[in-house]
Chains A and B, each alone.
Chain A
Amino acid sequence: MKAWIKYPLMFAAFVLLQVLILNQIHLGGFLNPYIYVLFILLLPISMPRYQVLLLSFLLGITIDWFSNTLGLHAASAVLIGFLRSPVMALISVREIEQSDYPGLKQTGIKWFLTYVAVLVFIHHFFLFYLEVFSFVGFFRTLLRSMLSTVFSVLVIVLSQYLVFRK
C-alpha cells in the first residue's frame, strides 16, 4: 500500500481504537492500555525526525481532544517521538538496516520486543506521573505504569501477528 494512504488510515484507526475501545478498559482502575503509541513506533525509520515529532504531537493532541486530557498525551507522545531514534541507535543490530519499516516481521521478535517495551514504558511512566502530578503514592503510580506497560506491549505484539502480518 502507498505510504500517503497507509499512514493516514493507520492514524485514524489507532485514534478510534484508543478512544472508543481501549479507553473503556480499566481493570481495577489500574490497567489503562495505550496502544496508539504503536503508530509512532511504526513510522518509517528514514523519516526525518522533525516530521516524526510533528506527527507525534498531532496524534497526542487528537487523543487528548477525545479524552478530555488536553496536553497530557501530547507531551507523552512527543517524548516518545523524540526518544525513538536514540533508542533505535542503542539497540540496533544489522537486521533493521535491511528494512525501512520497523515491524515485527521485518526486525525479529527480540529486537521488536525490546524496542516496544522500552518506549512504551517511558511513555506510560511519563504519562501517569504527569497525570497524578505528584510523587505522593509513588509506588502505586509506578506499579500502575508497569502493569499497563505489560498489557500494552502484549496487545501490541499480538496485533503484529494478527493485523500487520503481510
Chain B
Amino acid sequence: MRDLYRFILRNHVIFLFVLLEIISLVFVFNYNNYQKSRFLNSSSQFTGNVYNRYNRVTEYFRLSTVNRQLAEENARLRKLVGIPKTVRFIPDTLRGYQNSEFQYIYISAKVVSNSVNRLQNYITLNKGSKDGIKPEMGVICADGVVGMVTNVTPSYSSVMSLLNVRWNISAKIARNNYFGTLSWDGKDSRKVYLSDIPFHVNVFPGDTIITSGFSATFPEGIPLGTIETVDKEGGSSFYTIAVKLFLDFNALSWVEVIENNRNKELELILKRNSNDEGLD
C-alpha cells in the first residue's frame, strides 16, 4: 500500500493531468447534449451581467445601424396600418393575454452577447423568466428567424442561434409551398442550406424562403432569405439549395421572443400522432 502511495506521489503530475483532462472531456460530451448543460452557461447571472455592462458601452457604436433597422421596421408597420381591420395590435411586452384569441405574443429583448464564428453559436438576451421567457420559445427579428431559447435565468436568456450546426428549422418555398429543412454548415454566416426538396419541384435562384409553421416555435410565413444557387448532387434525389439569409447575424441588436399560446395543444396532438405510429 505504501508503494502505491509512493507511486502516485512520484507521478502526481501525470495523474493530475489525466484527471483534469477527463473532467474537461466529460464537460465537453455532456455539454453537447445541450439540455444537460443547465449550469455554467452565458445566461448565468454573473457572465450575463459582465456582457450587459460591456454592451452598454459598445451599443453607441451601433446606433446608426439600429436607427436604420428601426426606421425600416417602422415603414413596414406603417404599411400594415394602412390596411384597415386586418391587423390588430398586440402590445409588446404586456402580459395577461393568456386566454385571448391571439395565438402569438411578442416580447422584445436586446442582444447582449452574440457570436457567429463557432460551429455552435449562442446569443444572450437581456430578458429572462421574469419577463415571461421560457425555454423552446422562438426568437425572430425584423429580417427573419434568429434562434430558439435554450436556457433562462430570472433576467437573462440564452438562445441557440440559427447558425448552429446541431439545429435546423422547417422552411418552405414561398412560391409553391414545397417544404424542406433549413440548416447551417458552419462556414458562411450569411448562407444556409435547404434540403429535402425533390427534383420534380421547380426551383429557381431568387425564390423566397419562408418558415413553414409546422413546428410550434415559429409562426408561418416569416421571411428567411432568397435562393442563391440550386445544385443537383449525384446519387441524391434531392436538390442542394444554398439560401442567402436576409438577416445579418453580425449586426444583430434587438429581437423579439415569440410566445405561442397554443403551444401545449399542438404538442399534445403531435405526441398523439407519434404514439399512433408506434414510435416512442
Contacts and interface: CB of A to CB of B under 8 A. Distances in A.
Interface of A: 20, 23-24, 26, 29, 32, 49-50, 53-54, 56-57, 60-61, 64-72, 74-75, 78-79, 81-82, 130-132
B267 interface: no
A76 to B, nearest CB: 8
Given A53-B17, A82-B17, A68 B122 contact: yes
B11 to A, nearest CB: 11
Interface of B: 12-13, 16-17, 20-21, 23-31, 37, 40-42, 44, 47, 50, 54, 115-120, 122, 158, 186-189
B150 to A, nearest CB: 10
Contacts of B23: 57, 71, 74
B24 A75 contact: yes
B37 to A, nearest CB: 6
Contacts, number: 91
A89 B228 CA distance: 54
Contacts of A69: 31, 118, 120
A23 B9 CA distance: 39
A8 to B, nearest CB: 17
Contacts of B117: 23, 26, 29, 32
A92 B21 CA distance: 27
Given A29-B117, A57-B20, A78-B21, A66 B28 contact: no
Contacts of B44: 65
A20 B51 CA distance: 8
A52 to B, nearest CB: 9
Nearest to B187: A29
8 contacts: A26-B117, A50-B13, A70-B27, A71-B28, A71-B31, A74-B20, A74-B24, A131-B118
Contacts of B29: 71
A20 B118 CA distance: 15
